[in-house]
Amino acid sequence: MRVVVVGAGVGGLAAAARLAALGHDVAVHERAATHGGKLGRYRRDGFAFDTGPSLLTLPHVFDDLFAATGGPADLVLDPVDPACRYRFADGTVLDLPHDPAAVPAALDAALGPGAGAAWSALHARSGRLWQLVGEPVLRRPLTAPDLLRFSRRLGDLRTVAPWRTLRGLGTAMLPDPRLRAWLDRYATYSGSDPRRTPSVLSVTAYVEQHFGAWYVRGGLRGLADALLGRCRELGVAVHLGSEVLGIEVRDGRVAGVRLGDGPVPADVVVSDADAAVLYERLLPAGVAGRARRSLRRAPRSLAGFVLLLALQGREPGPAHRVFFPADYDAEFDAVLGGRPTPVADPTVYVHAPDDPALRPDDRGEGWFVLVNAPPHDPVRGVDWDAPGLAERYADRVLAVLAARGCDVRDRVRWREVRTPADLERDTASPGGSIYGTASHGAAAALLRPANRSPVPGLYLVGGSAHPGGGLPLVALSAEIVSGLVGPA
């Protein structure tokens, strides 16, 4: 069959590779001048930065992907150890080991006796949850009736506890407020607020500790390059700078896509564009009205404000560092509340990879700094293009870091600021939201836009569709879609 894939993000490339390996005739059309979507790269003066993901979890999902499309990729994965250094508002520092067996002792040492046992109980519970809703849910397409049947079958609703929020779970199981902040942060992995995210999202923490935190040597962007290479080996035609302006629907089923220079016929279209863009802009009005309406009701996930810092000198330390604020709730109110505003005192995440491939020489190092931010919304929210805002806020983030014991201001050779508006321009993600819609509400995490659209022949991959955002889930969405389309 002739397959057109809209978008060369990880989801689009993974779907293209899988469908080509199944014998289909596949073309990818990407509006940007480069591949990879949010898995971007920025280069300047010998520095190279990953502009999107810095943490890879569930690496076996990518092993499966490459195995199914021709064999292992030429990528070296290194464990990140410690997985992360956390600095809490009271100044406590916790280095979370890569090895889960070492976590309880590290917690007891940093936070006091009992913290390790509390974490172990949570980890065991989340492990049971992973058995129930991990592979069974994430590796297959899911519809509302499926979910109902599935939850009846579980017989262990108490474990899934769809009525409980991630915050509620933390409050019940983690006596130490610092550990609760640590758990809350996992809601942001799906761009959501822990007070509204179902507790099932605790599997995110489990996955990171059980399967480990990983780094792709040379930078995570290497994954996008490997996927592009695999597509090309399989004969996929990848067209960069080729925006899809619309999806053609004829006699109730998909007929192809429309480019600036005319239509491209296809039997199957796979969209890696954000689901909201697909339903609001690419499909003709009057098609798939129900899916469109239900998406309109869902809130957008959070976006990110990014600083790329070219630093003078090197001070190697943990690759991943999180600096928590005193008032985490104020951050969620600012980013996902009714009156969005840049967070005054944000959690700051630093990725400081000690990787010679990313620096010009050993006299400098590059840091990626990320804080949660409201999506770009000049009408009802924050206008990230407002003159001076981005630079002022960048200064603010560096001052916050300094106040938390990490002052790099006199080491900055230059900095590159990337706002949610920039991410929107680069990847066409509405407002620069990172994860499509937020996972708020009992079934939200499990009921994202379906991989099979209501239009026969049209499928959705990528982070805005089921099973969700983040590299491994996006790769799983491609596995699901290739399964739905089937062999040529």
Ligand X SMILES: Cc1cc2nc3c(=O)[nH]c(=O)nc-3n(C[C@H](O)[C@H](O)[C@H](O)COP(=O)(O)OP(=O)(O)OC[C@H]3O[C@@H](n4cnc5c(N)ncnc54)[C@H](O)[C@@H]3O)c2cc1C
Measured at the alpha carbon of residue 166, what is the angle toward residues 326 and 320, in degrees to the nearest 5?
55
| Least separation in angstroms between CB 448 and ligand X | 11
Residue 64, token pair as written in the block: 């499966």
Judge contact between 427 and 9, C-beta under 8 A. Answer: yes
Judge contact between 106 and 94, C-beta under 8 A. Answer: yes
Judge contact between 415 and 444, C-beta under 8 A. Answer: no
Query: If binding is defined by CB under 6 A, does position 54 make contact with ligand X?
Result: yes
> Which residues lie closer than 8 Å to 333 by C-beta, 6 or more apart?
none
Binder to ligand X among 161, 462, 466, 482 (CB under 6 A)? 462
Q: Which amino acid is at 189?
A: Y
Binder to ligand X among 22, 32, 115, 205 (CB under 6 A)? 32
Report the site for ligand X in 271-300 (rule: CB under 6 A): 272-273, 277
Residue 239, token pair as written in the block: 């067209």
Instruction: Kindly tell me which of 241 and 289 has the beta carbon lying closer to ligand X.
Output: 241
DSSP 394-437: HHHHHHHHHHTT---GGGEEEEEEE-HHHHHHHH--GGG-SSSB
Q: Give strand ranges (E) for 172-236.
A: 214-216
For ligand X, which stretch binds (CB under 6 A), given 9-17, 111-119, 149-157, 394-402? 9-17
Query: If binding is defined by CB under 6 A, does position 37 make contact with ligand X?
Result: yes
Query: If binding is defined by CB under 6 A, does position 450 make contact with ligand X?
Result: no
Query: If binding is defined by CB under 6 A, does position 31 make contact with ligand X?
Result: yes
Query: If binding is defined by CB under 6 A, does position 440 make contact with ligand X?
Result: no
Phi-psi region of 406 (alpha: psi -120 to 50; beta: other; left: phi over 0): beta
Query: If binding is defined by CB under 6 A, does position 381 make contact with ligand X?
Result: no
Residue of 422, 354, 343 lying closest to 54 (CA atoms): 354
| Least separation in angstroms between CB 98 and ligand X | 15
Q: What are phi and psi of 33, to 5 degrees?
A: -80, -5
Q: Which amino acid is at 98?
A: H
Query: If binding is defined by CB under 6 A, does position 248 make contact with ligand X?
Result: no
What is the H or E stretch that residue 44 is in?
Answer: strand 41-44
Query: If binding is defined by CB under 6 A, does position 458 make contact with ligand X?
Result: no
Binder to ligand X among 24, 29, 185, 466 (CB under 6 A)? 29
Instruction: Kindly tell me which of 112 and 263 has the beta carbon lying closer to ligand X.
Output: 263
| Least separation in angstroms between CB 168 and ligand X | 25
Query: If binding is defined by CB under 6 A, does position 319 make contact with ligand X?
Result: no
Beta pairing partners, 27: 4, 237
Residue of 145, 103, 16 lying closest to 478 (CA atoms): 16
For ligand X, which stretch binds (CB under 6 A), given 70-78, 101-109, 382-390, 428-436? 428-436
Binder to ligand X among 6, 19, 205, 234 (CB under 6 A)? 6
Query: If binding is defined by CB under 6 A, does position 19 make contact with ligand X?
Result: no
Query: If binding is defined by CB under 6 A, does position 218 make contact with ligand X?
Result: no
For ligand X, which stretch binds (CB under 6 A), given 49-57, 119-127, 193-201, 230-238? 49-57
Query: If binding is defined by CB under 6 A, does position 434 make contact with ligand X?
Result: yes
Binding site for ligand X (CB under 6 A): 6-12, 29-32, 37-39, 52-55, 243-244, 272-273, 277, 304, 306, 370, 423, 427-429, 434, 462-463, 469-471, 474
